[in-house]
Amino acid sequence: MHFAGKQLLTSELSFPYDKQHVQIVDSIIKTKRGYMCVRCNNDDQQLFASFPCARCGRICTYCRKCITMGRCSECNPLVIWTGPTPSISFSSPLQWNGQLSPAQQLASDEVCHAIDRNESLLVWAVCGAGKTEVLFAGIDMALSQGKRVCLAAPRTDVVLELAPRLANVFPSVDIAALYGGSQDRGKLASLTVSTTHQLLRYYRAFDVMIVDEVDAFPYSVDSMLSYAVERARKPNSSLIYLTATPNEQWQREVKSGQRKAVTIPARYHRHPLPVPTFEWCGNWQKKWRHKRLPSCVVRWVNEHLERNKQAFLFVPHIDFLQQVVPYLQQFHPRIEGVHAEDPKRKEKVLAFRRGQIPLLVTTTILERGVTVPNIDVAVLGAEQPIFTESALVQIAGRVGRSAQYPTGDVRFFHFGKTKAMVSAKRHIIRMNDEARKRGLIDK
């Protein structure tokens, strides 16, 4: 295990290290507002606890927020590496002969530019635009310059999908994939793919920090993860954000020119994004108390079963999902439901991909990353607060992703339009308009 570029708890340091190049700081400090965790920036007093500690013999306070990464407590200080981090340079390690679309090429050039000058950049690309390919040239250049690159993703699934893809196109480069329980833990590689949690172990280690799906849960709700990103990158480094759905504040900053951004408003297959249609369905929650669904929803389900077209139905809560699935199974016995804690989640998604499930009812977990050709989507209860603008744009982005089936139907069943629904629709229309103006779609 190498110590360079890390910040570790004293209890994690079972190996000898160079004491000259470290700084030891308290991991839990007291501020005017109470306790604060130096590693994860937690200052929510409900997420601190105290216990009679056998190590220090006192009542010791610890942080419960980042405890999965080892316990930060008053008697367990952080040891931070302040020495140099070794650097290795590769000569043009990229082995890829794919072709970028004109919009991707433009974004790719901007990424290279930002990496070269250690600037920050937002890559705002619609769902299915091919964001990963846009990074290849930039990563290639950084590695040639001997820079250390980190790609941070919000969830383990994404890390597991990205790491082999990068290993494929950068065959000569040492790559570490970091997530809870990973074998690469403690490695400092030239190219690191990491969940944002695992970044808590790094300190000023990376010259290029790329954050994938910035808007995705839990990054957007969790200030801890943006703090981790800031601590893990070098003070003089570039920061690239990738997203399909920047939040309102970022969109404003982009508009006013405060934030540097490049957009990819169209998909690689040159068809416009499907625009959602709104359909009022009355007080569906009240109807459900009498075990009835709104007639327009029932019609939508029947239509899809008759036409044999697969679809996702998004619902707001797990509790409702678990009630509605047995009800819908009366329509067709193979209808299934899937939610975040479902142990059979992977199997069900796979069965859906194979076409064995006609309709998959789901909570917002499937809003990203799942690509199935030729499907429709509907949201039941689109007015619920869980369906934010970005969630709705992502949901709409499930449709028409393959070049073979570039169109589809996106329906929001609602009991009163919300601001989020309207902004989501406007967001998609604006992207299509921009794409048309730039000649990125045929029509």
Partner 1 sequence: MKCLICHDEWMPPISFAMLFTLRQADVCCPRCRARFIRLEGNRCERCSRLSDVPICADCIKWKQRKSALKQNYSVYIYDDWMKEVMNRFKFRGDYALVEAFRHDVCAVFNEHFSSDVFLVPIPLSPSRLAERGFNQAEAIASLLSLPMIFALRRIDDEKQSKKTRSERFVGRKFCLTGEDVAEKRIVIVDDIYTTGATVHEAANVLYAAGARDISSFTLIRS
- Which of 64, 185, 309, 438 binds partner 1 (CB under 8 A)? It is 64
Site track for partner 1 across 67-106, x = CB under 8 A: xx-xx-x---------------------------------
Q: Which stretch binds partner 1 (CB under 8 A): 60-68, 280-288, 302-310, 359-367?
A: 60-68
Pairing of strands 28-31, 120-125: unpaired
- Which of 20, 31, 54, 97 binds partner 1 (CB under 8 A)? It is 54
Q: Does 436 bind partner 1 (CB under 8 A)?
A: no
Q: Does 323 bind partner 1 (CB under 8 A)?
A: no
Query: Distance between CA 319 and CA 283 in Å, rounded?
Result: 17
Nearer to partner 1, 7 or 73 (CB): 73
Q: Which stretch binds partner 1 (CB under 8 A): 30-38, 50-58, 115-123, 308-316?
A: 50-58
Backbone angles phi, psi at 34, to 5 degrees: 120, -155
CB 37 within 8 A of CB 65: yes
CA distances from 429 to 123, 133, 270 (A): 19, 25, 15
279: three-class secondary structure by DSSP: strand
Q: Does 386 bind partner 1 (CB under 8 A)?
A: no
Q: Which stretch binds partner 1 (CB under 8 A): 66-74, 163-171, 283-291, 424-432?
A: 66-74
CA distances from 231 to 6, 198, 369 (A): 10, 12, 27
Side-chain-facing half-sphere of 185: CA atoms under 13 Å: 12
Instruction: Name residue 152's beta-bridge partners.
Output: 194, 211
Q: What is the total count of residues that contact partner 1 (CB under 8 A)? A: 17
- Which of 15, 51, 96, 280 binds partner 1 (CB under 8 A)? It is 51
Q: Does 221 bind partner 1 (CB under 8 A)?
A: no
Residue 242: other Cβ atoms inside 10 A: 23
Q: Token pair 């000023």 is at which residue?
A: 204
Q: Does 15 bind partner 1 (CB under 8 A)?
A: no
Contacting residues toward partner 1, per CB under 8 A: 11, 46-47, 49, 51-55, 60, 62, 64, 67-68, 70-71, 73
